[in-house]
């Protein structure tokens, strides 16, 4: 299975900080975002041999995983939310194909963000 993650409102948060001339806060937010994804990458590589990171950049993460390990999706969300100190959330779409995962990510965003769609 595939799972596509995307940070919620990342661009808007950075844009607002920059428009309000809060450059240092934008830098800290960006650094926290990078650290969150590094932590997720390290966690996955240390705990799962059968989870493959296909894309990791910006606020996007695409993984391939064994559907017996669906719970890994919740772990990724938890690590992200903890690392970001509740500054933002992350949404996830999962599916049998990349296209299905992307489509389900769109649904997760449309149905309120901060969720895995379809739910576990």
120 pLDDT exceeds 90?
no
Q: Which domains does the chain have, with CATH numbers?
A: 2-117 (3.30.70.270)
Could you report how far apart the first and last alpha carbons of the chain are, in Å? 13
What is the C-alpha to C-alpha distance for residues 2 and 7, in angstroms, rounded to an integer?
A: 17
Given pLDDT bands bounded at 50, 70 and 90, which one contains residue 26?
very high
Residues 85-118: tens digit of each pLDDT? 888 999 999 999 999 999 999 999 999 999 999 9
User: Maximum distance among all alpha carbons in the chain?
Assistant: 47
Q: What is this structure's pTM?
A: 0.93
What is the C-alpha to C-alpha distance for residues 102 and 107, in angstroms, rounded to an integer?
A: 9
Computed over every residue of the chain, the mean pLDDT equals 95
Q: DSSP alpha helices (H): ranges in 48-95?
A: 71-83
């Amino acid at each position: 299975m595939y799972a596509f993650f995307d940070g919620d409102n990342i661009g808007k948060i950075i844009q607002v900080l920059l428009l309000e001339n809060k450059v240092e806060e934008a830098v800290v937010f960006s650094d926290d975002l990078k650290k969150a994804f590094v932590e997720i990458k390290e966690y996955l590589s240390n705990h799962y041999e059968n989870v493959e990171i296909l894309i990791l950049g910006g606020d996007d993460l695409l993984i391939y995983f064994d559907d017996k390990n669906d719970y890994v999706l919740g772990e990724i969300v938890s690590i992200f939310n903890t690392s970001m100190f509740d500054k933002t959330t992350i949404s996830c779409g999962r599916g049998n194909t990349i296209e299905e995962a992307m489509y389900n990510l769109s649904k997760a965003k449309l149905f309120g963000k901060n969720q895995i769609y379809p739910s576990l």
